[in-house]
Amino acid sequence: MQRPVTLLVLCTTIGCRASTHARPGVQATLPATISATTATLVRTGHAGVNLTGGWTTGSASEPAARQITLNPECNYSPALWIIQQDGDSLRAWQIPESHAQGIATRTHASTAPAEGWVSGLDVTIGAGGERYVLRYDSTSTHLRGTLNGSPFWAVRVEVVRREGCIPPP
C-alpha cells in the first residue's frame, strides 16, 4: 500500500511543479470569462433531430407557428436557409431573396456551404466569420440561439409556388 501512495504523491508533485512554471518564450493566455454565447459546444452524442430542409430566419419577433408556409409572387424567391444533414454533420446555405426580372444581376450568392454538427439537440455551424450556436426546441420545432453572439431563430418553411407562372424573358 505504501508504494502506490508514494508513486501517486510523486506524480502529483511533478505534475503540479511542471504546470506552475512557464517555459521561456511561451506566453500563456487564459480566457477572461466563458459565457453560453462564446463557449465552444463539445460533441457529446449523436444527433437527436433531423434538421434537413428549408428554414426562415430572424433575430426579433419569432413567430409562434411550428412551420411557415410562403406563397410568393411568380417572380419572387424569398430568403431561405437550407440545411442538409448527414448523421451528425450539417451543411447550410444562406439563399438571399431575389426577384426574377429577365436581366442578369451583378450580385452573386456564395455556393460554399457553412459546415457544422448536431450533438443531441445542440447545433453549431460556422464558416466565413459567421458562427451559429443553436438549440433545437422540440416543443416549437424552432432553432434558437445566437449568430455571432446576437439573438437568432429559425423556423421550418415550406415555399408553395403558384401554378401558371410565366417565366421572365
**Helix H or strand E segment including 82:** strand 80-86
Assigned domain for 125 exists: yes
Structural domain contains residue 104: yes
Instruction: For residue 133, count other CB atoms closer than 10 A to its CB.
Output: 22
Quick check: 96 pLDDT over 50?
yes
Residue 84 located in a structural domain: yes
Q: Domain for residue 166, yes or no?
A: no
* Range(s) of the domain holding residue 55: 44-159
Q: Dump pLDDT digits (tens) for 19-54.
A: 333 333 333 332 333 233 334 445 556 788 999 999
pLDDT of 70 reads 94
What pLDDT was estimated at residue 46? Answer: 79
Q: Which amino acid does the sequence have at 149?
A: G
pLDDT of residue 52: 97
Is residue 85 situated within a structural domain? Answer: yes
Report in angstroms the alpha-carbon separations of 136 from 67, 72, 125, 131, 142: 14, 27, 13, 16, 6
Q: Given pLDDT bands bounded at 50, 70 and 90, which one contains residue 107?
A: low
pLDDT for res 162? 86
pLDDT for 45: 64
- Domain assignment present for 148: yes
Number of structural domains (the chain) is: 1
Q: Is residue 101 part of a domain?
A: yes
Give the global pTM. Answer: 0.68
For residue 165, the model assigns a pLDDT of 84
Q: Read off the pLDDT of each residue in 80-108 and give the average, rounded to a whole number.
A: 87
Residue 12 lies in a domain: no
